[in-house]
Amino acid sequence: MKITLEKNVMENNDRAAAFNRQLFNKTKTLVINIMSSPGAGKTTILERTVAELSKDYHIGVIEGDIATERDADRIRKKGVEAVQIATEGECHLDPRMVAKVLPELDLDAIDILFIENVGNLVCPSEFDLGQNHRVVVLSTPEGNDKIPKYPLMFHVTELALINKVDLLPHVSFDLDKAREDLRAIQPNSRLMPISAKSGEGFETWIDWIRANLEACQKH
């Protein structure tokens, strides 16, 4: 006998994401899901970001990696609460993994929670974690081609941080071309050149976070 089910496979994920989102709304926590390929500089960006923001706000970080506690340790050294999720082979974070570690964080106190996803430009774009904002990081040595090669990642994010712009004189990365390609994939996304090493562009990035926090806490 044939049964017509018409059921979305992501249903369980979407339900878990909605649960997380409800919780974040209640605690008025701004949640930013940061994605990129391995080595684009997510953790270095976060180190600098939390050092800056923790002067004014209570920050929390969830680190996603296939293995090791290394990234969470790097963040803890900045005096910020960090929880590591070791996915043990999974190439992305899903909302159930996030829900499982939320009790380890004091969400009532945390103003801004960063979730650093597993380094991968494909799978993490598929999974809603219940975040307020999705940000992708692309570093200049990776090249312009990454944008049209991984269009879904750039389609589902609202901000593309172009990291390592201090290397622009040494690599063939064209910022104008990147802007044009991003617009062709997601016209509502914004491109922001930064360098986690030199600090270039960080004021704009920090302002972007502050503005979103204000909007999030107004509700």
Partner 1 sequence: MHEMGLMEDALELVAEDAEKHAFQSVDKISLIVGDLSNVLPDALRFAFDAFRESGQIPILSQQASLEIIPEKGLAKCAVCGITYEPNAFIATCPECGMPFGVLLAGETFKIESYEGS
Binding site for partner 1 (CB under 8 A): 1-13, 90-92, 94, 122-123, 125-126, 148-149, 151-152, 155, 181, 183-187
| Cα gap 174→191, rounded to integer Å | 12
Least distance to partner 1 from the beta carbon of 149, Å?
7
CA pseudo-torsion sign 22, 87, 112, 153: negative
If the CB atoms of residues 6 and 169 are measured against partner 1, the closer one turns out to be 6
Least distance to partner 1 from the beta carbon of 123, Å?
4
Least distance to partner 1 from the beta carbon of 65, Å?
15
If the CB atoms of residues 14 and 200 are measured against partner 1, the closer one turns out to be 14
Q: Which of 119, 63, 54 is nearest to 91 (CA)?
A: 119
If the CB atoms of residues 122 and 167 are measured against partner 1, the closer one turns out to be 122
If the CB atoms of residues 110 and 182 are measured against partner 1, the closer one turns out to be 182
User: 147 near 123, Cβ under 8 Å?
Assistant: no
Least distance to partner 1 from the beta carbon of 129, Å?
14
| Cα gap 123→118, rounded to integer Å | 9
If the CB atoms of residues 46 and 98 are measured against partner 1, the closer one turns out to be 98
Q: In this structure, what DSSP letter does residue 219 have?
A: -
Distance, first Cα to last Cα, the chain: 50
Least distance to partner 1 from the beta carbon of 141, Å?
21
Around 54, how many Cα atoms within 13 Å sit in the side-chain half-sphere?
19
In the block, tokens 């800056």 appear at 52
If the CB atoms of residues 88 and 218 are measured against partner 1, the closer one turns out to be 88
Least distance to partner 1 from the beta carbon of 5, Å?
5
Mode of pairing for the β-strands spanning 190-193 and 112-116: unpaired
What residues form DSSP beta bridges with 193? 162
Torsion of CA 25, 26, 30, 35, to 10 degrees: -60
